[in-house]
Chain A
Amino acid sequence: MSLAMAFRLGWRNLWRHPRRTLLTALAFSLGVFLLIISLGLGDGMHEKMIETGVRVGSGHVVIEPADARSTVDELHYLSADTAAAAERLLHQADLREMVRGVAPRLLASGLLSSANNSTGVQVVGAVPDRERGVTLLPEKIVEGTFLEETGRTPSTVIGSALANKLGVGLGSKVVLMTQAGSEIQSQLLRVRGIFSTGMEDVDLRLVSMRIEDLQLAIQRDGAVSHLAIFLDGSERTEEVRRLVAQRIERGFDGDPPSVLSWQEAMPELAQFIVIDDAGNYLFNGVLLFMVALGVLNTILMAVLERRREFSLLLAIGMRPFEIAAMVMAESFLLTGVGTIVGLVLGWSLHAYWAIHGLDFSGAMDQGLSVAGVSVDPIVYSYLYPGRIRWTLIFVAILGFAASLYPAVRAARTAPSEATQG
């Protein structure tokens, strides 16, 4: 018997009980549909969190001093030469195509004071042109500009919460005290921009200024804390990290700087995503398992009520494996139709939510954040590459598993049953 015949028979057999078949196929569609949209929303939310975390933090991939994370109480810097050499590597053609931007930063902690108040801050020395278009702060400026104007007094940009706390506004003067070597240095700054990201920590703690001003303030001429590398999305992070790491290893003698992915740089966020994904997989796995039980039930019923037919087919010379193939074809068609319908519906809603987003603000506590990264209440559906392929593989395995037992049962029918009047 040809495979085409197995499918033709399977298809016709399915329509012997149209209602049963449709209900089962519908349940399967629903399972696939839910799987696609929950993957879409999960991936969308995660990608947004990564994006935010990466843009407010140190990029998808970061080049930093090798010992940066080994000792916490001591700050480490890339020398001007090292930073320049690393940047040159990033300009190679294959990397340039994947990299959206590279931002050198100098980090320092300090105390920011106004006439009224003072508070501890994290200072980021940045190159404004390099930040614009890739990182978050330039986009979130609500007053003034992002370090565009300069005057005799160096400029700074602070968060709205910090401005409130210090009681300062655009044009106000503030004093930054930082450690320079063993001394404490004071630097007068003028507030030329105020940003508001909606992230409490960022708006209260983060201060940005031009990198050369900060280098001067801490007396570290040309020093850079890290090079933040930004990509178009998080998918190629590992690929870029590996390429950059390879080049750096080859291009540096002595102590090469280390290259970290965002997962290594922000382990809490990476962990949250892994755990959240695992929860989703478990939920969807259980759901699809139940749907597969429905398929098993339907096919098994169809098989048990057709013993007579199988014994007839065996009597006239069909082989048991051909009977099994016929039953599997039937099950394949049932799950296939269900999968296609579920896929089309799921993909459509995913495509709609990818553009219009789904607003969870009603269901979310105000300002939910994970590992310091805020979760946007509007989730834009997004599917990582390979999601559909893996969904199809998973569903095919489930369908196959569900049809195995009925197929074996059918194949084991005795041919002599055909003669029982």
Chain B
Amino acid sequence: MPDELAVRTESIRKIYQSGDQSVAAVDGISFEVHKGEFSAIAGPSGSGKTTLLNLIGALDEVDEGRIWVDGTEITALGRGERADLRKHKIGFIFQSYNLIEVLSALENAEFILLLQGVDPAERQRRVRAIFERIGLDGLEDRRPHQLSGGQQQRVAIARAIATQPALILADEPTANLDSATGAALLDVMEELNRDLGTTFIFSTHDPRVMERATRLIRLVDGRIVEDH
């Protein structure tokens, strides 16, 4: 796998059993994402966007196929190694409930650095710089419930990029936001992608969000139907 690839998948399949029916949520997907790409995964509800992101993010295991993230074959890793890979190489932004309720914005953002064992001064330095960059300064000590939805998502972004991961996965990061706030969030992501070269893969329903991506992958029934 060439160095410049952030992700590569090879014929991956994920099959869910519900009752006596089995659904191939991801049905033989092979694709590559280069470092520095800003890609969107689009598709109707139930098309497999979340499932695909979960597989790439090592949150779930494939039934068939192989996946590499930043040169490591994650489909060959055990539970603990996958946890370590998530901790060091992947940033996550979820649609909602991204933050730990009992921690302040700053503590949430530095949490993974803490898990990595980075010393407190360095954690503070990095996170404060990110907060300033993405317009969160002054909100460091607020608890999640004291932040707006857009601010909460920004804290999640701050947490995801604080560790300088190879890849950030975002599952419908703007779905719970109004369009103006969603657009502002995308501005932040775009800027980080441009200035720091962070690779983003995000899923969305929203045509306005798709427009912002440099690459658009469309899914239907667990298969890629369009990629440009």
Contacts and interface: CB of A to CB of B under 8 A. Distances in A.
Contacts of A88: none
Contact of B54 (A309, A320, A419): A419
Given A1-B114, A421-B175, A317 B102 contact: no
Given A316-B111, A318-B83, A309 B100 contact: yes
A318 B115 contact: yes
B94 interface: yes
B51 to A, nearest CB: 9
Nearest to A5: B114
B87 interface: yes
Contacts of B95: 419, 421
A317 B88 contact: yes
B59 interface: yes
Contacts of A13: 102
A312 B94 contact: yes
Contacts of B80: 319
Contacts of A315: 57, 59, 86, 92, 94
A313 B98 CA distance: 9
A314 interface: yes
Contact of B50 (A319, A414, A419): A419
A320 B57 CA distance: 17
Interface string A1-26: 11001000100110110000000000
B171 interface: yes
Nearest to A309: B100
A1 B103 CA distance: 14
B115 A419 contact: no
Interface string A312-333: 1111111110100000000000
A415 interface: yes
A308 interface: yes
A421 B100 contact: no
A313 B92 CA distance: 11
B218 interface: no
A316 B111 CA distance: 9
Given A309-B101, A419-B53, A317 B83 contact: yes
A17 to B, nearest CB: 11
B219 to A, nearest CB: 15
B96 interface: yes
A418 interface: yes
Q: Quick one: which of A2, A316, A318 has the most chain B CB within 10 A?
A: A316
Interface string B144-188: 000000000000000100000000000110010000000000000
A418 B102 contact: no
Interface string A395-421: 000000000000000000011101111
A312 B100 contact: yes
Nearest to B112: A316
Given A320-B83, A419-B54, 20 more contacts: A309-B97, A312-B97, A312-B98, A315-B57, A316-B92, A316-B115, A316-B159, A317-B87, A317-B112, A317-B116, A318-B87, A319-B83, A320-B79, A414-B60, A415-B59, A415-B60, A416-B54, A419-B50, A419-B59, A420-B50
Ranked 7 nearest A-B pairs via Cβ: A317-B87, A12-B102, A416-B59, A317-B86, A416-B60, A415-B59, A421-B95
